[in-house]
Structure 1
Amino acid sequence: MSAGRMLPARIDERHKTTQRVRRPWIGALCLVALVLIAYARVFPAGFIWDDESHLTRNPCVVGPLGLKEIWTSAQAVYYPLVLTTFWLLHKLAGLTPWPYHLLNVLFHAGSAVLLWQALRKLSVRGAWFGAALWALHPVMVQSVAWVTELKNTQSGFFYLLAILWFLKWRDQFLERESPGGGSSHTDAGRTTMRRSLVLSLFFFLLSTLSKPSVVMFPFVLALCVWWQGERIQWRDILAIAPFALVSAAAGLWTIWEQKFHARAIGPDWSQSLAERLVIAGRALWFYLGKLIWPDPLIFIYPRWAINAAHVSSYLPFVAVIIALAGLWCLRAKWARAAFFAAAYYAISLFPVLGFFDVYFFRYSFVSDHFQYLASMGPLAFAGAAIATRYDWLGCSRRVAMPTMAKPGPAVTQRVLIGFCAGLLLMLGAVTWRQSGEYRDLVTLYTATLAKNPGCWMAHYNLGIVFANNGALEKAIAHYRQAIALRPAYAEAHYNLGRLLAEKGELGDAITEYEAVLKINPDDADAHNNLGVALSQTDRVEDAITHYEKALAIRPDDSAVSCNLGAALLAKGDLDGAINRYLECLAAAPTMVDARYNLASALLRKGRFDEAIFHFQKALALVLTTRMLTRIWAAPSWRRAGSRRRLVSTEKRYNLHQIIWPRKATWPGFSQRRPILPCATAWKRCDWRSRLSPQGHEDHAGPSFCASWLRPTLKRVVSLRPPKLLKRRSRRRRLSKIQH
């Protein structure tokens, strides 16, 4: 027999008996142990890119939403089973990273064991070795070390379970059709067959709900039927039909989700059919090359410049077609196994070869995590080729390998066992080294830029990391690098403008915001921030124009309404400012800036009672927010008692309503403007009697009030919640404030 031939069970029935393993649990434990050792550096790692949207800042997982929204709305990225897993794990472990990494690694280890069993079911030689090659291959690191890619590992686990149950149904069906299969004709036998098929469909549903990219599963089942030496008959088509319906629904949903939810729309996804053929051909050979020689492995590979005008660009795609056709023609001689592996590889990769728009294609047309499931085919073929060529793999009972043929000379066995052990050791070492790059964002993006200096996305995300850590100069440098690599990068221009404005370089900030609006004139945030910068440079009229454009794009934006009111107030249009603030507070009653500015406008208008009312409301919000911040930062075992005692000076505010709007409304109040004394001290005395009988209202402004209420201002600015908030005894307290 020639190298690489994997015998189907129907061709060699004797080989089917040799697949029995004396102690399969030993082989399973070996696979799990190898995976845990190879990925040991993953456990102390933190969260990285995209983990925010899927987990750490996902309102469906850590915020006010929950399981209902995960399963019934598009507010979360629609991987409902993975988000449910995150939700459950968050309830148990919070946002401590290592439990999420451990679960990801365990799913991968479990998938390796299931792959071994599936290969045995398919009578593939070297099944354990092929599964070990897949489990330890460095290309899998991106899926296993990245918490977001629990989508891959969880989906792969259920994917393999579905294959195993389908193959079990096939075995039961063939046993029933055989002359000696009388027991399968009973009602119990038919029930067992139906149960196997239903369980296969159930696990496929779980796999699809984890990640819809498994939509090629029905074709994989048909390929398995062909591999087992059977013609695909109507009974097989009827059995596969439910899987095809689920795949069609998942595929259509994914196409819609990528285009309209992930927003894979624009010039980055405007390739013609000819260009997509070029991408598909290059991608297939690229992925295969990474399996053969996994170096360098990059988080974001360079994005190819596609030129469909050159005939040579089509050579990779033509080579794929010729290779598949050649293997098909030679299937009856020696290429059956090679065709099976190649067809599985191409079929599994088809959704990510560029024929459909995927948001990730904005950064690169290829990524290691795209071939997580597809790589099983070539690596299993490699294991089978070694086992078949030398007829030795599995001779050792110490590792519970299946015996496949008479062992060769002892020296040859030792050499080959040493070769395969060394190969696994090398793959494990590279995996161990590669997984260290996923320790944190700075490490990951630094390694990415070392291998791909033109990765503008890495520069941009490093800018975000350094900006969040307060290293503004480093952040600005990385934003400028991202813009140099991608001049039309609106997000980088926007963030650079924001940091320049924070540094006080308003002229440069205005230039960056204007660059954003040249790229995307409908960016409401850019209009708003440009308006703020223009207001600070006394260009109030221009600022009002941009605020109005922002509101035309996003009419319900309370922050823009508040800024427009401030601009109108600076212009002297008190009535216009008051109307804007009232509209803003109707949409966002807890917005402190709007409440304070409204009170200031009313004060200047001479509507003193209304001004006092809104000053009191603003102070109540400030005190409540400060108290809530302390409660939120406290350990969970202290929060319950703190929430029971929380009573504001005006009314008790719901924690659920305050803590989330606070993030958007509180930063603008950091200047601690002289609103604070206006609620307590002004309420105690008739401050209006201090005005002259002639009614010099100009003395009633905030500067006048601050001058004689300065002691109160200093006392209230310190904001000591235990002294300022009312308390009630345990018997007289009101109902608990909801979380």
Structure 2
Amino acid sequence: MPQSRQPDESACDAAPRWVWVAAGLIAVATLAAYLPAMQGGFIWDDDAHVTAPELRSTGGLLRIWFDIGATQQYYPLLHSAFWIQHKLWGDWPVGYHIVNALLHALSAVLVLFIVRRLLHTAQTPWANPTAALAAAVFALHPVHVESVAWITELKNTLSGVFYLSAMALYLRFDESRRAKWHAFALMLFVCGLLTKTVTATLPAALLVILWWLRGRLTLRRDVAPLLIWFALGAAAGLFTAWVEHDLIGAKGEEFELSAMQRGLLAGRVVWFYLGKLFWPANLVFIYPRWDVNPSAPSQWLFSVALIVLVAALFLLRRRSRAPLAALLFFIGTLFPVLGFFNVYPFLFSFVADHFQYLASLGIIVFICAAIMRSVPARASRFAFALPFVIPLALAMLTFRQCGLYADGQTLYRTTIDRNPACWMAHNNLGVEYKNAGRIDDALACYRRALALRPNYPEAWNNIGLALTELGDPRGAADAYQQALKLRPANPGVLSNLGTLLTRVGRHADAIARHEAALRLDPNDPQLHGNLGVSLQAAGRYADAVSHYHRSLESNPDQPGVRLQISLCEAAMKPPPQAIAAYAEIIRANPDNSQAYFARAVLLAQTGRRDDAISDYRRALEINPDHFEAHNNLATLLALAGRHTEAIPHFEQAVRLRPDFVEIRMNLAVAYAAVRQADRAREAAQIALDQARANGRIELVKKIEDWIRANSAAPKP
């Protein structure tokens, strides 16, 4: 490759009109190719990145910067960008998708200008069409769909803009040696680190580019200006490694790899990503997780072949430095995810398409240059057609690949089709089914996930949630206990178990579980709110209000919590004032069943039975599955001698809570009152069996006495 010359800076900056036209065409083509993605919704961990309610205030923005652990990863500039977007379009996914696509298009335009500048500096033939082709391939290659269509990967698209902008300005500094360009480039590099620390590889990538340009590196000219970059990058990388290990959870048996295993893994990872660049078929959200086995001779082939390739390119460097530079750029940019450091996604797979977003540039630019260089001089028209033909084919693949990200169900079904052993996809598909009301399908997915990975607490927790909705509290409790056996310090599961125990009336046990959850995560507003609900159900209204206020401190935007505070404050008043307070709440919230229910209880206590019956009926119109309202209404009707009207409500209460012994006995008494002796005995016998199974000795004796008394009663 010819030696570079020192160009005039203004000559390098002057871009002909065709460059701006090409930039516009690339941007438009990018947005067109990603149109299906822009119509998609939120998937997987997008909810952990779109700004959480407790962080949406100005104080929340400060927490993003100064409270490590406030966000899933400490990338404060990234989460500030999410914070701004939430101010603009809230939870509207289209806005986030458009931003990702625009940032990706901007990165492609930066590639166009950077590659054109470098190739002109190196006096490379076909510099202009090569730059256009490389930018278009980067913009439209389907391996980048995961980075653009997945809202979470704003990490990639935003950090990519900072990375490439810093590169462009540093190359300008290298030509002019003006300090201002170094300062601007360094500032953008820091912005990249605060967005995603994979940008820490930029100074090494710059040295590779400078070596390709000049054939040698000098300490003073080339290395010294980047020393602070290397220091900042190393510090950011080590900090991110600590966050991944201690806060996110990249530790445990799945991450315990020997040095030999990590070396074998690195070789295989490089070849995998090269393969996907050259043949982007069967791209999948979660790839199969490899078994890295040093005793298998075939697994050494990847690393050995890579070493041979690097050695061969090193020996050929005098003929052309470009192949070695491209490979070094590729491997160096991939270095953080080659397996030498633990990152949380390794739990699912050692590879992911979004890991090679920036690394792919080394190979893309080299291959595009090689293609253009191989075109005969007489075929100039063909050469200028290539920047259109190749990207068009890639754009069609990208357009189709975007369809996988339309929604969670589509994404996970496709993942399972291509990777049937992906236990995470089975579990997440179950969550999608549950959210769609397909509880039985959700349970089947959770159980399949457990068959693939028995020590999977998240699947057990999800089974608990599903069984709760199906009205099987005993099965749900067993599932939560299984989850806690696998991971005892799990605040979410503890809180879910507490909520379940509240539903079955075990208020003391429920409160204990919620308090245990808060000891593990004392600042979680949801946990404080859940404890408030259990305290409210137990009649501890003042304590409930205290925890509701703690929840509001972290997340003020909770009108439902404010309503619960009003209900608790009303409940603490004497009955006449409380009834009046509930009336005010009902006027402000006419569809709140809790207020009608609570007022009905007080009306019944003060002897206003007909008014109480009316309020219970209104509560059930709003919430037909309120089993306590069914039971209390049925009890009032039975006390009024209206047993025929009471029985359907007792029956519905039993359907909603088949494990509630007392309600089933109320139903037995109602059957007996209307002389349905067989049905009365059947209900009483079931209640007796349940009481015995639960070890409720006193209740067993009462039911046995009732059965004997009613068996001895003369038949009509």
TM-score w.r.t. the length of structure 2 is 0.74
Q: Which letter does structure 2 place at the counterpart of 1:446?
A: R
2:222 to 228, 236, 249: 236
State the distance in 2 between where 1:225 and 1:527 align: 56
Structure 1 match to 2:443? 476
1:73 to 67, 73, 82: 67
Structure with the bigger percentage of helix: 2
**Structure 1 residue 464 displacement after superposition:** 1.5
Q: Which letter does structure 2 place at the counterpart of 1:463?
A: G
**Structure 1 residue 505 displacement after superposition:** 2.4
| Bigger shift: residues 554-563 or 237-246 | 554-563
Q: Retained in 2: the 8 A contact 1:527–1:547?
A: no
Q: 1:273-292: CA deviations, max 9, x gaps?
A: 22222221111110000001
1:519 maps onto 2:486 in alignment: yes
Inter-CA distance 527–117: structure 2 relative to 1 (3 Å threshold): closer
Structure 1 match to 2:417? 450
- CA RMSD between the two structures: 3.6
Structure 1 match to 2:140? 136
1:675 maps onto 2:675 in alignment: no
1:216 to 166, 179, 201: 201
The SS at the match of 2:319 is helix
State the distance in 1 between where 2:77 and 2:414 align: 32
The SS at the match of 1:386 is helix
State the distance in 2 between where 1:390 and 1:613 align: 90
Structure 1 match to 2:92? 96
Q: Which letter does structure 1 place at the counterpart of 2:328?
A: A
State the distance in 1 between where 2:51 and 2:185 align: 33
Q: Retained in 1: the 8 A contact 2:41–2:407?
A: yes
2:546 to 564, 586, 600: 586
Structure 2 match to 1:548? 512
Structure 1 match to 2:47? 52
Inter-CA distance 155–523: structure 2 relative to 1 (3 Å threshold): closer
2:165 to 136, 161, 182: 161
State the distance in 2 between where 1:670 and 1:259 align: 46
The SS at the match of 1:554 is helix
**Structure 1 residue 517 displacement after superposition:** 2.3
The SS at the match of 1:117 is helix
1:346 maps onto 2:331 in alignment: yes
Structure 1 match to 2:612? 709
Equivalence map 1:360-399=2 (5 Å)? 360-390=345-375
Inter-CA distance 239–592: structure 2 relative to 1 (3 Å threshold): same
1:319 to 305, 317, 322: 305
**Structure 1 residue 70 displacement after superposition:** 2.5
Q: 1:17-46: CA deviations, max 9, x gaps?
A: 999756321221222232223223223222
Q: Which has the higher contact order (CA 8 A, sep 6+)?
A: 1
State the distance in 2 between where 1:527 and 1:165 align: 52
Structure 1 match to 2:404? 437
**Structure 1 residue 337 displacement after superposition:** 0.5
Inter-CA distance 100–517: structure 2 relative to 1 (3 Å threshold): closer
Inter-CA distance 497–288: structure 2 relative to 1 (3 Å threshold): same
Q: Which letter does structure 2 place at the counterpart of 1:204?
A: F
Equivalence map 1:158-307=2 (5 Å)? 158-173=162-177, 193-229=178-214, 230-307=216-293
Structure 2 match to 1:38? 33
Structure 2 match to 1:111? 107
Q: Which letter does structure 2 place at the counterpart of 1:25?
A: W
**Structure 1 residue 615 displacement after superposition:** 7.2
Q: Which letter does structure 1 place at the counterpart of 2:185?
A: S
Q: Retained in 2: the 8 A contact 1:145–1:438?
A: yes
State the distance in 2 between where 1:64 and 1:53 align: 19
State the distance in 1 between where 2:26 and 2:161 align: 15
Q: What percent identity do the matched residue pairs reach?
A: 35
**Structure 1 residue 361 displacement after superposition:** 1.4
Structure 2 match to 1:723? none
**Structure 1 residue 165 displacement after superposition:** 1.0
| Bigger shift: residues 551-560 or 131-140 | 551-560
State the distance in 2 between where 1:528 and 1:71 align: 28
State the distance in 2 between where 1:440 and 1:712 align: 42
**Structure 1 residue 365 displacement after superposition:** 1.0
**Structure 1 residue 118 displacement after superposition:** 1.3
Inter-CA distance 17–260: structure 2 relative to 1 (3 Å threshold): closer
State the distance in 1 between where 2:578 and 2:218 align: 76
**Structure 1 residue 239 displacement after superposition:** 1.1
1:309 maps onto 2:305 in alignment: no
TM-score w.r.t. the length of structure 1 is 0.72
Inter-CA distance 7–610: structure 2 relative to 1 (3 Å threshold): farther
State the distance in 2 between where 1:615 and 1:257 align: 52
The SS at the match of 2:49 is helix
**Structure 1 residue 494 displacement after superposition:** 0.9
Q: 1:600-624: CA deviations, max 9, x gaps?
A: 8x9xxxxxx6677777777767776
Q: 1:73-98: CA deviations, max 9, x gaps?
A: 23123332232223333333333333
Q: Which letter does structure 2 place at the counterpart of 1:253?
A: F
| Bigger shift: residues 376-385 or 481-490 | 481-490
Structure 1 match to 2:4? 9
Q: Retained in 1: the 8 A contact 2:529–2:547?
A: no
Q: Which letter does structure 1 place at the counterpart of 2:287?
A: Y
Q: Which letter does structure 1 place at the counterpart of 2:206?
A: L
State the distance in 2 between where 1:616 and 1:282 align: 72
Q: Retained in 2: the 8 A contact 1:218–1:243?
A: yes
Q: Retained in 1: the 8 A contact 2:288–2:349?
A: yes
Q: Which letter does structure 1 place at the counterpart of 2:280?
A: P
Q: Retained in 1: the 8 A contact 2:501–2:509?
A: no
State the distance in 1 between where 2:575 and 2:252 align: 49
What are the ranges of 5 or more consecutive residues in structure 2 without an aligned counterpart? 550-560, 623-716
Aligned length: 592
Q: Retained in 2: the 8 A contact 1:445–1:458?
A: yes
Q: 1:660-702: CA deviations, max 9, x gaps?
A: xxxxxxxxx96777312467xx6xxxxxxxxxxxxxxxxx859
State the distance in 2 between where 1:88 and 1:563 align: 33
